[in-house]
């Protein structure tokens, strides 16, 4: 497992774009003030669940066929090749 020191974490945070972080924080504050929240207020309908499941299945199958998603037999998991390490 890879270990990070506190200095490594702080340097990574300082490299991130502070303007983007500020914009996200402002948006979250604005939406809470206006009555919006980040959580869902109602449960998904049965049709919505079916549609989302269908979209997810199609997306994964396309990824497997194109080779961007691979099945790792040792770990028994699907992995995205773009983000796989070594």
pLDDT tens track for 30-40: 766 676 766 76
Average pLDDT over residues 15-24: 76
Mean pLDDT of the chain: 82
pTM of the model: 0.47
Say which range, 6-10, 20-24, 77-81, has the weakest mean pLDDT: 20-24
Task: Return d(Cα 72, Cα 56) in angstroms, integer.
Answer: 19
Instruction: Indicate whether 81 pLDDT > 90.
Output: no
Q: Cα-flanking dihedrals φ and ψ of residue 71, to 5°?
A: -95, 125
48 versus 4: the higher-pLDDT residue is: 48
54 versus 18: the higher-pLDDT residue is: 54
Percentage above 90 pLDDT, the chain: 24
What is the predicted pLDDT for the residue at 84?
74
């Amino acid at each position: 497992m890879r270990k990070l020191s506190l200095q490594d974490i702080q340097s990574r945070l300082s490299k991130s774009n502070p303007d983007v972080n500020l914009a996200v924080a402002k948006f979250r504050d604005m939406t809470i003030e206006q009555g919006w929240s980040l959580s869902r207020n109602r449960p998904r309908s049965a049709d919505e669940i079916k549609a989302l499941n269908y979209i997810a299945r199609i997306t994964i199958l396309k990824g497997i066929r194109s080779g961007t998603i691979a099945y790792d037999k040792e770990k028994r998991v699907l992995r995205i090749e773009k983000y796989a390490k070594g």
